[in-house]
Amino acid sequence: MTEDNKTFDPVTGEQLKDWGHRPGKHFPALLARANEMRAAGLGLVRIRSELEGEIPPEPVTMDLRAPGAVPFHENIDIGDPDEEDNVLKVRATMTELMRTPTIEAGAIMPDACPAGPVGTIPVGGVAAARNAIHPGMHSADICCSVMITDLGSADPKAVLDAAQSVTHFGPGGRPQGNRFTVSLDLLDAFRANAFLSNPKALRMAQEHMGTQGDGNHFLFVGRSRKTGRTAIVTHHGSRGPGAVLYKLGMEVAERYRKELSPGTAKQNAWIPADTEEGRDYWAALQLIRKWTKANHNAIHQATVDAARGDTGDRFWNEHNFVFRRGDIYLHGKGATPAWGDYAADATGLTLIPLNMSEPVLVVRGKDAPKGLGFSPHGAGRNFSRSEHRRRMGRMTPEQMLKAETEGLDIRFHAGVVDTSELPSGYKKSSSVVDQIKSYDLAAIEDYIDPFGCIMAGDVPPFWAKKKGPMRA
């Protein structure tokens, strides 16, 4: 195209960037407007001048804080060398985490243990950020949570049998023809959200409904110590839909990290809450919460129907999530909200599982300032799963299972014992209970004593199954 033909070369995105405009959601509309002016015969100098007022100011970068400048609360004791080693590692990672420029306070729970490179929020960690949502601080297992249903006088074995017939553990989702129904309103809400409207999230929202995954997720049946009534407890997160949201959230947060705070560790990148993307991400988190609650409800109701039982009270709580109090965003990584109105459906009661041979605690939170309003989410670990396997020595998984769960009905969906999920893989539950009391984090109102549970078992990672024989 030439001046002689009265047509002009279009304005390009590279030209806009050379003029000082930064790419973003507004960029396509800005480029279109520039080319409308170009088509009307305006020269590049005039177009640049017309758009100059829309060049955003250069962002003010935020430096890391000095080590120790922002302290954190410790709600954890040391009783033996393993605990000492664990606490030293947790302190090191929290000290580095607190250098993140958005973080204003932090806390660790009695179940704290490291969960990645130094500077990563630990399991049992809480971080309070101003005007910032950190996807890495709720992790890929967004809204990992527990739900309990009172089943009255139902026989625990019949309930466990019924649950085994309806639940789904392991990787992947349910095949066509064996899926649970997902609310059409919820799917429509996914479609209306910028983070959840992609085909993968929508497909997984349908395939993964009624599934529990693997790892430490479980279905537990026991009896209330207070009433003698049977109860079912499930533990799982948001499965595929949550993992998709986490990945997209981390991508957006990384873009902001490079612009706002290049010195911040990648796992601690954040999305400013007062931006359009921050508001969309917050809304997406609430939809993922609804999906996860529906997933728990589906498994519970299917179990009730299969067992032909009657239900009493049902409640739930999440422990991998972000909660808002004013303009502070509280990130709980394996930490249970312990203030009464943390959500519209909060009952004042929350659940703290310990291990498969110990009770699930029913507690009432105390909104303790030194816990930033949280209590622990479980028993936690003092050493890694691989270290636990090393310490097994010559004992077989079956021998360990029998020794540690005598008298209980423990079932592994894959048929293979996962030794890392046996009680010896976790901290002493009695110590965690004592610390909940001594640090005044929650009041224990009931114990659900175990009858048995179902877990995924030692399932190969999903990527290992994809590997076929080498081809010539």
pTM: 0.87
Q: What is the pLDDT of residue 5?
A: 47
**Could you report the per-residue pLDDT of 318-328, keeping only the tens digit for each?**
999 999 998 89
Q: Mean per-residue pLDDT for 358-368?
A: 97
Q: Mean per-residue pLDDT for 67-81?
A: 95
Lowest-pLDDT choice from 6-10, 11-15, 106-110, 187-191 = 6-10
Torsion of Cα atoms, 210 then 215 then 221 then 224, to 10°: -120
Residue 379 vs residues 12, 240, 352, 355: alpha-carbon distances, Å: 57, 26, 8, 7
**Could you report the per-residue pLDDT of 75-102, keeping only the tens digit for each?**
999 999 999 999 999 999 999 999 999 9
| Percent of the chain clearing pLDDT 90 (strictly above) | 81
> Residue 373: which of 128, 89, 18 has the closest Cα?
128
Confidence of residue 305 (pLDDT cuts 50, 70, 90): very high
Average pLDDT across the chain, whole number: 92
**Could you report the per-residue pLDDT of 397-451, keeping only the tens digit for each?**
999 999 999 999 999 998 899 999 999 999 999 999 999 999 999 999 999 999 9
Q: Mean per-residue pLDDT for 157-173?
A: 95
Q: Mean per-residue pLDDT for 307-336?
A: 94
Q: What is the pLDDT of residue 392?
A: 83
Q: Mean per-residue pLDDT for 6-32?
A: 85
Residue 358 has pLDDT above 50, yes or no: yes
Q: What is the pLDDT of residue 394?
A: 86
Residue 7 has pLDDT above 80, yes or no: no
Q: What angle separates helix 199-207 from helix 239-260, to the nearest 10 degrees?
A: 150
Q: What is the pLDDT of residue 9?
A: 87
**Could you report the per-residue pLDDT of 234-277, keeping only the tens digit for each?**
999 999 999 999 999 999 999 999 999 999 999 999 999 999 99
Beta carbons within 8 Å of 20's beta carbon, 6+ residues apart = 52, 55
| Percent of the chain clearing pLDDT 70 (strictly above) | 96
Q: What is the pLDDT of residue 2?
A: 42
Confidence of residue 1 (pLDDT cuts 50, 70, 90): very low
Spatial contact of 380 and 112, defined as CB atoms under 8 Å apart = yes
Q: What is the pLDDT of residue 471?
A: 34
Lowest-pLDDT choice from 58-62, 314-318, 432-436 = 58-62
Maximum Cα–Cα distance across the chain: 92
Q: What is the pLDDT of residue 465?
A: 54
Q: What is the pLDDT of residue 76?
A: 97
Q: What is the pLDDT of residue 464?
A: 54
Residue 468 has pLDDT above 80, yes or no: no
Q: What is the pLDDT of residue 472?
A: 30
Q: What is the pLDDT of residue 347?
A: 95
Spatial contact of 135 and 282, defined as CB atoms under 8 Å apart = no
Q: Mean per-residue pLDDT for 305-326?
A: 93
